[in-house]
A and B are shown apart, each in its own frame.
Chain A
Amino acid sequence: MTSLTTEAGAAGAEAPAAPARALAAQTRGLRKVFGRTVAVDSVDLDVPAGAVVGVLGPNGSGKTTVIRMLLGLCRPTAGSVSLLGASMPDGAGSVLPHVGALVEGPGFHPFLSGRENLLRCAAFEPLLPSSRIVSTVDDALDRVGLADAARRAYRGYSLGMKQRLGLAAALLVPRRLVVLDEPTNGLDPAGTREVRRIVGELHAAGSTVLVSSHLLAEVEATCTHVAVLQAGVVVAQGELAGLLAGDQPVLEVATPSVDLALATLRAAGVPARACRGGVEAELLGTPPAAVVEALVLAGVPVSEARRRRAGLEELFAALTEEGGA
C-alpha cells in the first residue's frame, strides 16, 4: 500500500507540469471524530490548482466528511485545512465566495419553485451584484436544462432535476474551486454526460474541481488526479495516469512456446511467469520493446504483446479490499 502511494507520488513529480504546483486545497493530519466513531483520520489531501481531483471511496469511507471540513462546514477534531490559501473554517468568509459546492445532495425548499430557490441562493451570493441576480439565475437554469421546469415547485422535481438545480446553485458565479459531492447521483445517462461536460468546461476555464464519486468510470473519464479513501484514511493519491501506470508494470506476451519464452527471459534477467496463453514479463526497468526483441531473436513466436494497464476499477478494488482486510 505504502509503496504504491510513494510510487504514485514519484510518478506525479515526473509529470511535465510545474514541479511545485500551487495547491487549491490542502489538508494535513485531518481527523474527525463523531462520538466514538472515527470518521476520518490523518488525511493529508492535496488538491493542485487547476486539477480535476476525484475523491473515491466506498460508502462511509469519509469522503463527505472530508469535503465538509474542507469547506468549513464542520470543524476538524484535529489537523488543519487550507482552502485557496486561507485556513478553514476561520477563513470561510474570504474564500467561500470563490467556491461553489454541492454537498450531500441538493438542499432546497420544497414549497418554492426551482427559480425561487435559486433566487434565494443568489441573494446570499457575495460576488453577485443585485442588478444581475435575475439574469444570472435564468442563465443558470438554462445551463442545467431546467428552464422549462423553473417555475414548478421543487417538491415535484425528480431526483435528477434536484441534482441539476444543485449544480446550478454551485455554478451561479464563476468559481475558482468547485466541489461536487456525488454530482451524478440520480442523473440519467444524458445528465451524467452533461456533468462530465460541465466539469470539462470548468477545467478548461482554469477552475479547480473536486469531485467525489462512487462511479469509477466517471472519475476515470473526467479527473486528472485521484485520491482514494478507505475507512477514513487516504490509501492512495496522485495523478490518475501515474497511479494507473504505477500499478502493474507487466507485459503480457501471447505465445505457444511458453517454455522457450520463459527460458529466454530468465537468461535476459527479466522476471517472468507462465500465464494463460503465454507469459507475463515484469517490466522492472526493461523497456517493453527490449523484451519483445529478446523473445523474437530467440525464435519465440510472439503473436501479441500488450502492456497491462490496470483500470481504475481494478486499482480501486485492490486498494479498498486490501485496506479493509
Chain B
Amino acid sequence: MTTMAGATAAPLHRMLRSELRWAFRRPRTIVALALLSALPVAIGVGVVLAGGPQGEHGESLIAQVAGNGLVLPIAALSAAIFLLLPLVVSMSAADALAGESVHGTLRGLLLAPVGRIRLVVVKSFGVLAVTTAAVLLIAAVGVVTGLVVVGDGGDGVLTLSGTSLPVLPALWRVALAALWTIVQLSAIGAVALAVSSVTEHPLVVLAVTVGGLIFTGVLTAIPAMDWLEPVLLPTGWSAIADVLRDPVPWDQLLSSSYRAGCYLLIGWSLTLARMVTRDA
C-alpha cells in the first residue's frame, strides 16, 4: 500500500470564493438584495412627496431625513434592522447548513473532504458576506438616494444634537452605522447558523430566528419583564440613532456591540459543537 500522497484539504481561499459564488448566484439572494435596496429609495421618495420638514418631527429619524439627505441611509438601516435585515440574514444561514443538508450537498462537502471545523468557517464566511452586502447596499443606495432625491440641505447634515456636520464626516457616521449594523446582524447570523446546524428544514431556521425576534419584541413591551432587557439583543438597537449626535455618545453603541459579541460567540460555539458530531 502506497503512502497517502497529496493535500488533505483544498486551499481555503478557493473554498471561500466558491462559497461566495454559490451564495450570490442564488436567485433568492439576488431578489432579497434588490428588494432591500428599494427600501432607502422608498423612504427618500416618501419623504420628498410628503413635502419637506413638518411641524413636530422630534427625534424620529425618518422625519429627520427631510432636507437632510445623509440621514437617509441611517434611517433606512434603523428601519430594516428590526425585521428585513434579520430575515435576509437568517435566510442565508438557513441555506448554509440546513439547505445544503436537504439537497444532499452537505454530504458531498464532508466527503470532499472539507473538515467539519473548516466547513463552519466557510459557511460563516458566506453568511457574513451576504450580511455585509445587504447592509452596504442599503447604506450605499441610501447615500445616493439621499444626495440625489433629498439633497443635503446646503450646509451638510443637521445632527440630532442640533449641530451640523460637513458631508465627509457625515459619510463616516454612515459607515459607523453600517459597521454597527453588521455587528448586530452577525449575532443573528450566528444564532441562525446554530439553528441551521440542527435541522434539515431551512424554514425552521427562518421561523425560529424571526419568531425569536418577534418574541423578544413582545417581552420588551411587557413592563414586568424589564429585568430581561439586558440580555435581549434588540434592546440596544435604538443606539443606531446615536451616530447622528454630536459628539457621538459611545456607551449605548458599545454596550449593544458587546451584547452582540456574546450572542455571536454562543451561536458560533453551538454551531461548531453540533457540526463536529452531526450525522450526515
Contact = CB atoms under 8 A, between A and B. Distances in A.
A, B: real partners: yes
Interface of A: 22, 49, 68, 71-75, 84-85, 92-99, 101, 103-112, 116, 119-121, 123-128, 130, 169
Given A93-B8, A107-B104, 5 more contacts: A98-B4, A103-B111, A112-B22, A124-B18, A125-B10
User: Which of B11, B22, B106 has the most chain A CB within a 10 Å cutoff?
Assistant: B22
Contact of B15 (A108, A116, A123, A127): A123
B26 to A, nearest CB: 6
Given A49-B1, A111-B27, A127-B7, A106 B113 contact: no
Contact of A101 (B15, B103, B111): B111
Contacts of B9: 93, 126
A126 B18 contact: no
B104 A106 contact: yes
A120 B1 contact: no
Contact of B113 (A74, A96, A111): A96
A107 B103 contact: yes
A130 B111 contact: no
Contacts of B280: 68, 73-74
A75 B6 CA distance: 26
Contact of B112 (A84, A107, A126, A130): A126
Interface string B221-235: 000000000000000
3 A-B pairs with the lowest CB-CB distances in the bound complex, closest first: A107-B104, A74-B279, A123-B18
Contacts of A49: 1
Nearest to B8: A93
Contact of B107 (A84, A103, A111, A123): A103
B91 interface: no
Interface string B99-119: 000011111111111110000
B279 A105 contact: no
Interface of B: 1, 4, 6-11, 14-15, 17-18, 21-22, 25-27, 103-115, 277, 279-280
Nearest to B18: A123
Contacts of A119: 18
User: Which of A74, A75, A116, A120 has the most chain B CB within a 10 Å cutoff?
Assistant: A120
A94 B4 contact: yes
B137 to A, nearest CB: 21
Contacts of B26: 111
Contacts of A124: 10, 15, 18, 108-109, 112, 114
A126 B7 contact: yes
Nearest to A106: B104
Contacts of B113: 72, 92-93, 96-97, 126
18 contacts: A72-B110, A74-B279, A92-B110, A92-B115, A95-B4, A97-B8, A103-B111, A104-B104, A106-B104, A110-B103, A111-B26, A121-B112, A123-B10, A124-B108, A126-B6, A126-B8, A127-B7, A130-B14
B103 A108 contact: yes
